[in-house]
Amino acid sequence: MKSQKLQKSTSSKAEVIESKFKTDADIANANFKERELEKWVPDADDTKVLTFDENSTGGWDQFRVNQEKFGIESTYDEHLYTTRINTEAKDFQERVKKAERLANEIENDGSIDPHILEERGKLKDTGLDEEMKYSGVLRDEDPDVTKRDTRGDELMAALKSVNISDKKYVPPKPNALNTAHKDPAIASIQKPSDKKHTEESFRLNAQSEINSLKEFSATFKVPHKLPNDLLPILAKDKIKQDEILKKSSTPTSTSASSTSPPPPAFKLNPKAAAFTPSSPRGQGSPKPQAPKLPYVNNGMSKRHYQISPADFFGGFDRVPTKESQIEKSKKIKISFNLFVTAKRNTPKGEPVTIERAYTTPPTWKQTVDEPYYNLFPSPDTINQSPQAKPQVLNQQAPGQHPQAMNVFQQQQYQAAMFYQQQLGMMPQAQGMPGMYVPTGGEFMMPGYMPPNMNYSGGSPNSPRMVMQYPYGNSNQHHQNYNGNHHRRYNQKRNE
């Protein structure tokens, strides 16, 4: 298993070198720093003031106005762009009927893909603005989405709701989608270097920010009940404390009433499709990638009743559809069938060989059975310290039995050691090859046994390999197996 993984990773490295197709970032290499922007000033004799009344709605007849004012007539004819419908055909009426039936079928087909729905005219609004819908590229594998701390989202929603009251256009803020430069070199360049700011503009800018902050603080309210223990910190005076309490308990008109309607009762849908995490193509092992949180829409917090299937499943393309479910159940039927998969994976013309299933070496230390009381701490000690959970280990809770702790620590240690083994980092230098030497010294690892203890023929320097094929412990065998496997892997890629 290990060696196979290694080969995979090296071959993908080779591909990286092979494919030099550059992304935008690879091409742009210049550094432009923050700088002071030059304010635009209207010409001195240009006193006409024009503004934009954002509160009025658009919705005017552009064709009528442009025709009346500028005499523009439309000449659009779709046949300049597409083919003509042949209405002369003998069976035209039949064709129309058939087309209507099919059209109906398409329009009533259940799909939840927002793009497909939009194309059918079923979906007016996906919540994405037109930039993200038609121009921008959604960063699907943006690691920031998984790393982002979402705890502040509710607070952020409250911050936004303050702004919503006036319907003014708010220019887009740089968001996590497009600001985060992971490269520390770039990130450091992007930090404000305001030395060049002149006094004047700095003062102006600062003042406008201060004003907006003041305005904000006047209307902003934390969307939680004020904890009582905060009061003495906020104000020493009893009267002031009451004032704060009062202020926090009255609902603010802007955030609470205008924006969020009372949440509809949330019911679990018994018909909902089962959620099964699977890699999109349903083959091979899942790629090692950071665990994905449900897709978070640019820091906009969503309440549970607002979560769309796409949010829940972590992307539009992951929401199970009828077809994907059928496909999946089809796959499940055969994927676990040893014979079918063996046959499918064997190149044409070669005899089908069915591989031995993965086997693991014995994990116990010796074959002499020990009584259970030697293997486990006595039940009394466990019962006495029901709090001895791994989380509290560091705190050494008083009254906790040391031995009980030891068990947990051991287990943790084993887990850690096992992990190291998996990564191939097992310290090997603590004894002759093939000889087991306790690594920690302090405690044994009862559940674990180094793989190269039971037999001497294995490659001494690669305990990982030996662990994998305990019964055919000759180097010859390994090479065969690996070669074989590698070839098949390549072949798959070439298909």
* Residue range at the interface with another protein (CB under 8 A); choices 105-113, 253-261, 266-274, 377-385: 105-113
Cβ proximity of 393 and 409 under 8 Å: yes
Using only C-alpha atoms, the chain has a radius of gyration, in whole angstroms, of 34
At how many degrees (to 10) do helices 322-335 and 338-345 cross? 90
Task: Quote the least distance from Cβ 491 to another protein, whole Å.
Answer: 14
Site string for another protein, 291-330 (x = CB under 8 A): ------------------------xxx-----x-------
Cβ atoms of 442 and 434 within 8 Å: the answer is: no
- The HSE-up count of residue 102 (CA atoms within 13 Å, CB side) is 6
Distance, CA of 8 to CA of 27 (rounded, Å): 29
**Which of 396, 401, 397 lies closest to 384, judged by CA?**
401
The Cα-based distances of 112 to 321, 328, 387 in angstroms read: 7, 18, 47
Kindly tell me which of 25 and 397 has the beta carbon lying closer to another protein.
25
Q: How far apart are CA 210 and CA 477, in angstroms?
A: 74
Q: Which of 10, 57, 228, 276 binds another protein (CB under 8 A)?
A: 57
CB proximity list for 235: less than 8 A, separation 6 or greater: 241, 243, 244
Asked whether position 488 contacts another protein by CB under 8 A, the answer is no
User: Of the candidates 269, 273, 283, 268, which has an alpha carbon nearest to the alpha carbon of residue 313?
Assistant: 273
Is the CB of 116 or the CB of 155 nearer to another protein? Answer: 116
Q: In this complex, which beta carbon is closest to another protein, that of residue 192 or of residue 441?
A: 192
Nearest to 253 by CA among 356, 354, 162, 385: 162
Residue 143 lies near another protein (rule: CB under 8 A): no
Contacts (CB under 8 A) with another protein, residues 152-171? 168-171
Q: What's the min distance (Å) between Cβ of 399 and another protein?
A: 54
- Selected from 7, 146, 150, 205, the binder of another protein by CB under 8 A is 205
Interface residue with another protein among 10, 14, 74, 432 (CB under 8 A) is 74
Does residue 184 touch another protein according to CB under 8 A?
no
In terms of Cβ atoms closer than 10 Å to its own Cβ (0-12, 13-18, 19+), residue 154 is middle
Alpha-carbon gap, residue 175 to 190, rounded angstroms: 14
Tell me: does residue 370 bind another protein (CB under 8 A): no
Q: Is 332 in the site for another protein (CB under 8 A)?
A: no
Residue among 34, 194, 243, 442 that touches another protein (CB under 8 A): 34
Closer CB to another protein, 22 or 195, in the complex = 22
| Interface residue with another protein, options 9, 11, 66, 353 (CB under 8 A) | 66
> What's the closest the beta carbon of residue 115 comes to another protein, in angstroms?
5
Shortest distance, position 7 Cβ to another protein, whole Å: 16
- Tell the smallest beta-carbon distance from residue 223 to another protein (Å): 24
Among 138, 234, 334, 340, binds another protein (CB under 8 A): 138
Q: Supply the minimum distance, in Å, between the C-beta of residue 352 and another protein.
A: 23
Residues 408-447 that bind another protein (CB under 8 A): none
Tell me the two tokens of residue 318: 């992951």
Give, as ranges, the residues between 249 and 288 that touch another protein (CB under 8 A): 281
Q: Is 53 in the site for another protein (CB under 8 A)?
A: yes
Q: What is the C-alpha separation between 130 and 136, in angstroms, rounded?
A: 9
Angle, CA of 182, 186 and 189, to the nearest 5°: 135
Q: What single string gives the DSSP state of each residue in 365-388? A: S-SS---HHHHS--HHHHHH-TT-
Q: Does 222 bind another protein (CB under 8 A)?
A: no
Shortest reach from residue 145's CB to another protein, in Å: 11
Nearer to another protein, 130 or 237 (CB): 130
Following DSSP, what letter does each residue of 117-166 receive, concatenated? HHHTT--S--S--HIIIIIS---TT-HHHHH---TTHHHHHHHHHHHHTS
Q: Does 72 bind another protein (CB under 8 A)?
A: yes
Contact 354, 340 (CB under 8 A): no
**Whose CA is closest to 437, among 427, 422, 447?**
427
**Scanning residues 106 to 125, which ones bind another protein (CB under 8 A)?**
106-107, 109, 113-121, 124
- Binding another protein by CB under 8 A: which of 10, 14, 59, 264? 59
Q: Applying CB under 8 A, does 195 fall inside the site for another protein?
A: no
Among 11, 62, 253, 480, binds another protein (CB under 8 A): 62
